[in-house]
């Protein structure tokens, strides 16, 4: 049975969280919302505040998962990040990453650091 869009997203985020924790990331927030926008994961890694967008696809038939992070999506993420940075009074290094997951067995994970 095919997974729904939401189920794929939830599975992708779970895989990404497990992956990040194994890499030594401290997860600060998941699904952080501001107004109508959301950042999937906010984490700390080596004193860098990292905003992470997770994209999961069943396969690459319609392109790679990271291709779904278009200019508009980046702008939305930047607005949410700006709000979070202001709220936390953070004035150190930040980074924007994408974790692209193809949900084949086993899942393929690509961590694109400094993606935008």
pLDDT in tens, 61-111: 889 999 999 999 999 999 999 999 999 999 999 999 999 999 988 899 999
Confidence class of residue 3 from pLDDT cuts 50, 70 and 90? Answer: low
- Supply the pTM of this predicted model: 0.93
Question: Which residues have C-beta within 8 Å of that of residue 30, sequence separation ≥ 6?
Answer: 13, 17, 40, 41, 42
Say if residues 48 and 95 touch (Cβ distance below 8 Å).
Answer: yes
Instruction: Identify the domain containing residue 47 by its residue range.
Output: 5-112
User: What average pLDDT score do residues 11-37 get?
Assistant: 97
Tell me: pLDDT of 1 over 50: no
- In the block, tokens 């890499």 appear at 23
pLDDT in tens, 46-62: 999 999 999 999 988 88
CATH number for the domain spanning 95: value is 3.40.1350.10
How many whole angstroms separate alpha carbon 80 and alpha carbon 110? 23
User: What's the number of domains the chain is made of?
Assistant: 1
């Amino acid at each position: 049975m095919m997974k729904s869009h939401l189920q794929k997203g939830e599975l992708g985020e779970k895989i990404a969280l497990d992956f990040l924790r194994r890499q030594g990331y401290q997860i600060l927030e998941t699904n952080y919302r501001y107004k109508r926008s959301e950042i999937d994961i906010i984490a700390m890694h080596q004193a860098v505040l990292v905003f992470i967008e997770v994209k999961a696809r069943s396969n690459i038939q319609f392109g790679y998962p990271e291709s779904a992070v278009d200019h508009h999506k980046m702008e939305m993420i930047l607005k949410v990040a700006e709000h979070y940075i202001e709220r936390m009074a953070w004035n150190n290094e930040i980074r924007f990453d994408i974790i692209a997951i193809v949900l084949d067995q086993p899942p393929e994970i690509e961590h694109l650091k400094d993606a935008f």
